Amino acid sequence: MRPPPSVGVFATDSFLGTQGVICMVSGVRQPGVAVSGAAFDASAAREGGIITVRHLSKTYTFHRQAPGLRGAIRGAIRRQTESRLAVDALTFSIQPGEVVGLLGPNGAGKTTTLKMLTGLLDPSGGEVRVLGYRPFERKTEYLRRISLVMGQKTMLWWDVPAMESFYLHKEMYGLSDALFRESLDELAALLEVEDLLQVPVRKLSLGERMKMELLAALLHRPEVVFLDEPTIGLDVVAKDRVRSFLADINRQRGTTIVVTSHDMDDIEALCSRVMIVNHGHMVYDGGLADLVQRIQPRKRVRATFAVPVEVAPDAFADGLVRVLDPDESDSGGNVLALEVEREALGDLLSLLPRLGPLVDLAVADAEVEEIIRDLFTGAAVTESAITGKEVAR
């Protein structure tokens, strides 16, 4: 049920009138450049989604207090109230069956967005519709069609077997005996936890507990599942099991999944589409592969030779290939690390065997984690990132 990856669109702030585009991509505004703050509206064309969000904003009000006793007294007598725009005019829609990753650095606004989508927070502005409902009204009919899994907050009773919590969910979600049993058996088999249903939750490992959380969250067959850091704290085996389970659920049931995670492996394994938020703005909305190609269009080539090889600095004078710093693990000069434009990859691969006896060759895109990190910090972002021609580093 996963739809094809959509074309990625960067949020852009126009500046200086007729010069048109573009000075801000990563969400880290470039110093000294004026930006208009225009709302991102690129995905408005995708109408009629299972989730539709238009110009969604959230402003938090908080009290500021100076440190120390004097600050505490002054704060108690006269409070300084300030407000912070956490989410700024987000607009997007999500189609049924999509798996969308909501990414951003800490404080970017992604969890606030997730909370507004699930009805935990009342938006300050704009509109949200999920399955046709306004989430904040928290109608029973709405809550029975969605699910929220928070990696750091449990919905299971701690001292009793998870089965007790599942019985509670049966009543909360109004499930018939037959549907409950069928759903329970199916999910327990998929997660391989049939033997753990009668074990007190406090006796389970973290990975087993997360499986039980997912089981509880999916018992009522929600149409939309919101996941907040679903693999946090899990070991690699448990992470892999959780990811493949979620992918199976999406494929078999057509469940729409919105996931926030700081683990890029989660995103790569699950998401056909990513939305990157920073400073409350939408920075990017599109396919993950497209994001990689736009930010880091060059391929990474790592060639290992049987003998040390030397490459002259001007060996690739056309600018299509760049020699990277030697690999730390290569003490003998046997490894050549290169970055190459995609169109020049074929020529490079035919050239490499002529440099020496080749024993290993690896070609890869840049690491997604690296791309995202650069996006968050602004390191990889220039105007050319939008056009996809060249990325300054």
Partner 1 sequence: MSLMEILRVIRRLVVGGIAGSLAYPGDFAFYMLGTIIGPIIAAFVWRAAIAAGADLPVDADYITTYFVLLSLVTMLASAWLSVFMADTIRDGRLNVWLARPGSYLYEIAANNIAEKVVKLVILMPMIAIFAWFVRDSLTLDAAPWRWGALLVSTAMAAMIFFWLDVAMGSLGFWLEDISGLEWGRSLLTGLITGQMIPLALFPAWMQGFLHVQPFRYTVSFPLEIVVANLSTQEVMTGLGVQAGWTAVFIVAGLSLWRRGLRSYAAVGA
Write out the two tokens for 297.
Answer: 């269009």
| Nearer of residues 105 and 123 to partner 1, judged by Cβ | 123
Q: Find residue 257's DSSP bridge partners.
A: 99, 225
> Residues 256-295 vs partner 1: string with x where CB under 8 A?
----------------------------------------
Q: How far is CA 347 from the centre of its chain?
A: 35
Instruction: Please report, as residue ranges, which positions from 43 to 72 form the binding site for partner 1 (by CB under 8 A).
Output: 60-62
Candidate ranges 26-34, 99-107, 135-143, 283-291; the one touching partner 1 (CB under 8 A): 135-143
Shortest distance (Å) from residue 357 CB to partner 1 = 60
DSSP class of 125: E
What is the C-alpha separation between 167 and 221, in angstroms, rounded?
A: 15
Instruction: Please report, as residue ranges, which positions from 217 to 256 form the binding site for partner 1 (by CB under 8 A).
Output: 226
Q: Which of 17, 19, 81, 153 binds partner 1 (CB under 8 A)?
A: 153
What is the C-alpha separation between 210 and 228, in angstroms, rounded?
A: 12
Distances (CA, A) of 293 to 8, 27, 35, 118, 242: 10, 19, 26, 32, 28
Candidate ranges 37-45, 120-128, 289-297, 319-327; the one touching partner 1 (CB under 8 A): 120-128
Write out the two tokens for 11.
Answer: 């949020």
Candidate ranges 44-52, 71-79, 141-149, 262-270; the one touching partner 1 (CB under 8 A): 141-149
| Nearer of residues 140 and 387 to partner 1, judged by Cβ | 140
Q: Which of 100, 128, 130, 148 binds partner 1 (CB under 8 A)?
A: 148
| Nearer of residues 164 and 383 to partner 1, judged by Cβ | 164
Burial classification of residue 225, based on how many CB atoms lie within 10 Å of its CB (0-12 exposed, 13-18 middle, 19 or more buried): buried
Q: Does position 115 bind partner 1 by CB under 8 A? A: yes
Q: Which of 2, 55, 136, 355 binds partner 1 (CB under 8 A)?
A: 136
Instruction: Please report, as residue ranges, which positions from 155 to 214 form the binding site for partner 1 (by CB under 8 A).
Output: 155, 157-160, 164-165, 167-168, 170-174, 200
Shortest distance (Å) from residue 56 CB to partner 1 = 14
Q: Does position 122 bind partner 1 by CB under 8 A? A: yes
Nearest to 289 by CA among 270, 272, 276, 301: 272
Shortest distance (Å) from residue 144 CB to partner 1 = 5
Q: Does position 3 bind partner 1 by CB under 8 A? A: no
| Nearer of residues 108 and 146 to partner 1, judged by Cβ | 146
How many residues comprise the chain? 393
| Nearer of residues 64 and 342 to partner 1, judged by Cβ | 64
Torsion of CA 178, 182, 187, 193, to 10 degrees: 90
Nearest to 270 by CA among 114, 149, 152, 101: 101
Q: Which of 105, 119, 126, 287 binds partner 1 (CB under 8 A)?
A: 119
| Nearer of residues 211 and 294 to partner 1, judged by Cβ | 211
Q: Does position 133 bind partner 1 by CB under 8 A? A: no
- Compute the half-sphere exposure of residue 365: CA atoms within 13 Å on the CB side of its CA: 16
Termini Cα distance of the chain? 38
| Nearer of residues 184 and 301 to partner 1, judged by Cβ | 184
Angle in degrees, 0-180, between the axes of helices 177-191 and 236-253, rounded to the nearest 10: 140
Nearest to 193 by CA among 165, 222, 173: 165
Distances (CA, A) of 176 to 140, 170, 179, 183, 297: 17, 8, 5, 11, 52
What is the C-alpha separation between 256 and 223, in angstroms, rounded?
A: 6
Where is 115: in which H helix or E strand?
helix 110-118
| Nearer of residues 165 and 250 to partner 1, judged by Cβ | 165
Q: Which residues bind partner 1 (CB under 8 A)?
A: 60-62, 112, 115, 118-122, 136, 138, 140, 143-144, 146-148, 150, 153-155, 157-160, 164-165, 167-168, 170-174, 200, 226
